[in-house]
Chain A
């Protein structure tokens, strides 16, 4: 097993192992997700659509990655993330937990982020960021969604067992 995921609830370990994950990090316990960089003892992910906040977050040593709020693409941020070797996390909540019309729009937005990340050689990684166990996905499903989003181009966006 060589995959990890980040979720917003306390996951059942046996379920996570059945789903094929090595590590499933819980927000609030193993990792923090906040709207601006703060001082935490655990690694932090910053979610925002403000360019200044995201660039500041990328420069912060405690921040492991960023999330574009509402999947709004910003190439300057992606360039900076590539330069500072930070990860752009892409939550699948807008794709999995929505209706068909909204899903189509979100898939297009996420594709743009992924293609820009590949072009600028930045690390992009999909995560479920599930709020409850209904929204958790198995590794097989994540790999299928990965191929739906990025096709066969570029490197994997679902590889690695650690943040």
Chain B
């Protein structure tokens, strides 16, 4: 408990650095990540992250010291080069995008490892610490790093604030952006530069492999809670800042624990939670919706069956046995009984003894479904020239979907036909 209070009082300058650093890094990555996610180029960040390594080593070899400026320039250059190489491969050969991506990231990384081990064995005095680009060093962020992180994050945030509309446009509708005369190539250049910058600084917090998570995971999680881009960016930033602080907190109460992986663990946990539980889009919500649809379809089918039985003797309020419904339509018995009970509580059916009768509402509903079914069969037959014996299956599924507006259009198109292709009467409302 003392440790928790100590951590959240932020009195330790070391903790201040780590928390502020993690937040700055995760924030700019989440911002850029939302756009790479929407452009379906989520894994490009992964490739850039791996491709930075040779640049870091080259920067070190050229300057002979761990001068952050040289290293960042080197990292920036090879990061850029990797994007160029990927595009070059896809454009100039039959190699597909996924292979080009996997190739580029592993090739640059292997050259990086080659150079890194060369430097380590060649006896450079100040080489220790270069591998923070491999594993991240969020737990040992110092003031000087903080300045670099801060300036880069501000640059990225400012760019995105000013060019938000343009970036939105080139992400969602590049063709429209070109037509209205936006400098598409230059915007693309700025966007890629921001991505590389975000990766170059972000990688120092979480390391090569987990970098991809800082870009992709907050955006993917946020996507499940909203359809609005501004809200999505906001949610992604909040989620990733939260995981940044959590990661820093865990590594401060358990010093052996690495910060980067815990940041990723936290944000991944949130993302998986969102995929499963988010209202409307999550797995459970989708499953529930599917269940609702199935129940609705089953109930409509029961009403339709009852209506069609009654059609023969033209006595719509006469009670019918369960057996006669089953004769008309095969429905698993358990589901049929459950469906009948639900329909009764909704006021579509009346139970008389062991028999079931349609109410006025139930009759209308059954009539509507039958009408839609037969209208659609007629439509397929007349307009798409489909033989009468091929139209039933299709009508069976569409009858549950057609809206009243569509129904009216079809009726007008067909000029209120009296019978369907099987010569069954199409029932209209009196």
Q: Do A and B come from one complex?
A: no
Residues on B lying within 8 angstroms of A by beta carbon are none
